[in-house]
Amino acid sequence: MNIDIWSDIACPWCYIGKRRFESALAGFEHRDDVTVTWHSFQLDPSLPAHYDGTEIEYLSERKGMPADRVAQMFAQVTEVAAGEGLAYDFGSVVVANSLAGHELLHLAADHGMAGAVKEALLSAHFEHGQDIGDREVLVRIGTGAGLDAGEISAALESGRYRDAVSADVERAQSLGITGVPFFVLDEKYGISGAQPVELFGQALRTAWAEANPLVMVTPDGGADEAGALNGQACGPDGC
């Protein structure tokens, strides 16, 4: 079963959603047969490479909200994140354009390391106050996951994966995705937001059952889809 996930690095609910989805997947009996693909999405592609201000100032300016209201929102999100084992520190968050980080993710995907790099980028941004728009930070994150430093630098310098990032964004638009995180199960079921673990678990089971219908053995030794009878049985109306 294929799971496609659209998210941004600079999205606090995307990290929370990642944790909750992973918890559901860990308890899913067919987890070894699930392929997860991370897709790029930028909440604010107009951001400069570096923003001279705090996260509170940025969101207050962008949303037109009072700074104290933004601070209150951050406190609430931090509490929710803590419930998932995440230590958010909005006071140290460096506001930066996430494009280069998404390019790094596509490079990592080519080497089968997207999951590890995605985790490292989110943690660096929300827990450790690192600048995800800084080339040296990205090289350090990539090499920490096992990528080659020279290849990272060359890919970021040339913009090799910029079209791939744009393609992800365009596909999201074609699917009607306007917010992240957004999860698509087997190109059929969509889940918007950092939903509870239980909902992710139910969605995984539903998608799996539909893609892998139960096959019953018939009395003549053949096979049929669920519903064929095989000997005596009891049901709601009796035996």
Taking only the tens place, the pLDDT of each residue in 164-215 is: 999 999 999 999 999 999 999 999 999 999 999 999 999 999 999 998 886 6
Query: Whole-angstrom distance between the N-terminal and C-terminal Cα of the chain?
Result: 36
> Cα–Cα distance between 98 and 191 in angstroms, integer?
23
CATH number at residue 132: 3.40.30.10
Answer whether residue 31 shows pLDDT above 90.
Answer: yes
Residues forming beta bridges with residue 36, ordered by sequence position: 3
CA distances from 201 to 69, 90, 198, 204, 206 (A): 34, 30, 5, 5, 9
Does 230 map to a domain?
Answer: no
Whether 231 shows a pLDDT value over 80: the answer reads no
Per the domain annotation, does 235 fall within a domain?
Answer: no
Within a domain: residue 222? Answer: no
Please indicate, yes or no, if residue 130 is contained in any of the structural domains.
Answer: yes
Residue-wise pLDDT tens digits, 40-94: 999 999 998 778 899 999 999 988 999 999 999 999 999 999 999 999 999 999 9
Distance of alpha carbon 54 from the chain centroid: 25
The answer to whether residue 229 sits within a structural domain is no
Q: What is the pLDDT of residue 51?
A: 85
Identify whether 219 is part of a domain.
Answer: no
Q: What are phi and psi of 222, to 5 degrees?
A: -85, -165
Q: How confident is the model at residue 234 (pLDDT cuts 50, 70, 90)?
A: low
Q: What is the pLDDT of residue 127?
A: 98
206, 27 contact by CB (below 8 A): no
Domains in the chain: how many in total? Answer: 1
Closest CA to 137 of 164, 109, 101: 101
Q: By residue range, what is the domain housing residue 170?
A: 2-208
Q: What is the mean pLDDT of the chain?
A: 92
What pLDDT is stored for residue 48 in this prediction?
86
- The whole-number pLDDT of residue 222 equals 54
Q: What is the pLDDT of residue 212?
A: 85
